[in-house]
Structure 1
Amino acid sequence: MIFGLFRKKKQNQPIVDRQYASLTSAARDPFFYIDLGVPDTVMGRFEMLSIAMILFFRRTAKSGVSGQELAQEIVDAFFQDIDHSIRELGIGDQGVPKRMKKLAGMFYGRLESYAAALDAGDREALSLALARNIRPEAADTPSMDGLAAWMIRAEELLAEVTEDEIARGAALLPPPGK
């Protein structure tokens, strides 16, 4: 009976699954890759999914305890998904923790830099941070102004999402380019 206290609660699982699927679907929108300059690569997809998670995480930071708990479960699902993807790419069991640590560091670094620009309402700083992270190797980095504008608009629209929608896993990111 006492061991039940240490088991992860599964009552939120359908909500977590629904919200995570919505966020991953939004991050996979071809518009990001075709029109906004995000490379359609493993790392490009990591970047877009990180952006979706960051936007959702920032919205739920303003929620009550249940919204924040849900956000943590969704971020946990994100990292479980990354772990699974790394293994599917053929990385051995010994290399996975090192890669996970690196990717977690990248995610939280992006959270800080994007949050600073979003909090300041600084589209140019956000665009530069996106370019630095999404195309670090490119000498002539394409402008990330369109992606920065979408992120600002997405954050504004997420602010209008009700607590009930958060609790049901029904928060949606706006489609890009519309």
Structure 2
Amino acid sequence: MRRILSLFRSSSGADAGAPYAALVAEARRPEWYRDGRVEDDMDGRFAVLSSLVALTILRLERGSEEAVRGSVSLTEQFIADMDAQMREIGFDTTIGKQVRGLVGALASRVDIWRRAQDGEEEWQAASDFSIFRDKPPCEESATFAAERLRRFSEQLDGADDDEVMQGKW
């Protein structure tokens, strides 16, 4: 996906440009598609990006008041980028419906990762749903994605709120 780096100030007042750019860079890492065998197409790239965004939103929600505002800004940045991506590929006539669907997919991922972090869902099952949805992966790919997302989540947990909002974890 093409990175949208408008670095705008969201309605919540927090700037999510830096963490969003870092998330896009992580989602573009070739290992996801080569070693993890995630489909290197729009759906696969969306799955990786939205999974990373969901984990970051949850991390920010556990932070200070400013971090919580940052989670709102990150969500807004994601929506703005998805809107721009849909327009770029020509979905102008159904853009609202398409973007609502993408936002719903992000919300589903936030929900499943919240349950996994609370111990109500197995991490592996959350990863399989979040990355592969209805295309069950081979065991090697599933393990790769789950461990990669676990390490990413641990990096977020090890960073303070300011570092996360600067895209440094």
For the Cα contact (< 8 Å) 2:51–2:131, is it kept in 1?
no
* Structure 1 residue 39: Cα displacement: 0.6
- Aligned 1:103-114 pairs, distance under 5 A: 103-114=102-113
The equivalent of 2:5 in structure 1 is none
Alpha-carbon shift at residue 33 of structure 1 (Å): 0.6
Structure 2 gap segments, 5+ residues each: 1-8
Corresponding residue for residue 171 of structure 1: 168
Change (3 A) 1:87 1:35: same
Unaligned segments of structure 1, at least 5 residues = 1-6, 173-178
The aligned counterpart of 1:142 is 138
Report the CA distance between 1:128 and its aligned residue: 3.6
1:76 is matched with which residue?
76
**Aligned partners of 2:25 and 2:123: how far apart in 1?**
25
Check 1:67–1:145 CA distance in 2 against 1; reply closer, same or farther (3 A cut). same
Q: Which amino acid aligns with 1:162?
A: D
Q: Is the 8 A contact 1:123 1:145 kept in 2?
A: no
Output the CA distance in 1 between the equivalents of 2:12 and 2:65: 17
CA drift at 1:122: 2.4
Query: Is the alpha carbon distance of 1:35 and 1:102 closer, same or farther for their aligned partners in structure 2, counting shifts above 3 Å?
Result: same
> Aligned pair count?
158
Identity %: 24
Offset of 1:141 from its aligned partner?
3.0
Larger Rg belongs to: 1
In the TM superposition, what is the alpha-carbon distance from 1:162 to its structure 2 partner?
1.3
Tell me the CA shift for residue 11 of structure 1: 6.6
* SS at structure 2 position matched to 1:95: helix
- Residue 21 of structure 1, CA deviation: 0.8
> For the structure 1 residues 127 and 20, does the alpha-carbon distance in structure 2 shift closer, same or farther, using more than 3 Å as the test?
closer
Structure 2-normalised TM-score? 0.82
Determine the structure 1 residue equivalent to 2:95. 96
Cα-Cα RMSD: 2.3
Q: Is the deviation greater in 158-167 or in 36-45?
A: 158-167
Q: Rate the CA distance shift 1:118–1:149 in 2: closer, same or farther, 3 A.
A: farther
Q: Which residue of 2 aligns with 1:29?
A: 29
**TM-score, scaled relative to structure 1:** 0.78
Equivalents in 2 of 1:118, 1:38: separation in Å? 23
